Structure 1
């Protein structure tokens, strides 16, 4: 087989892959970017990857429950560390986003097994009948810089 033909074919594949990657990173709508960030946050919580969760929370994160980014992580560790398995089942998701700002509302149900607070947490979260609201912003110029500024739920006090 002709070596030049092989090299050209490989270069064509690399070019196509590069174009696709550039579109996937920079060509997605703000709504698609926020949806991807939301799902990555949910996955980080399921895995109890607190470093990843912290990266998703804005440095100025605050909420109606008095949390800062640091105290939200501390409470997450406290109440979710007893789970051996944890799955967040999401439903009725609505995503609204424009350049630099987004909002996600979604119902969340927990499934899992564990010790300590785990059964109390499951019962409390799963009895909620209203969706959670996540307020997102993108202070940077990159499509992966989305951060949560606030998480809110009307039934949680």
Structure 2
């Protein structure tokens, strides 16, 4: 299991290739990459803040739960912080399991929990000003299936 919270950009293809090459006993690898989207059409950038140590620990706990719940062979979570522009990679989840069902479900599980429970604070900056991103009820509702 690997959790990285970093400011630096990463290469999703290289990360996926390295992860896939490192897993033994997996029959399936699933990856998801999140991208900063410009929903309003005027996003200058997003600022993401976190508390070092606390954030990594919370994500490790989530990944540990997924490892047990879905019998994963391995998992990788990368999440960026700092100033990110539209279309930049913000995060990545990779899961490896003996069977595809667990690989897919565990990736969805991690995405739902990362979206709602990982301690990150996001601010959208536009030409009109800046606003902290509020939690969405749909993201909270997604947790109920787990």
**Please, what TM-score do these two structures have when normalized by structure 1?**
0.30
Structure having greater relative contact order (Cα 8 Å, sep ≥ 6): 2
Q: Is the radius of gyration larger for structure 1 or structure 2?
A: 1
Higher strand share: 2
Higher helix share: 1
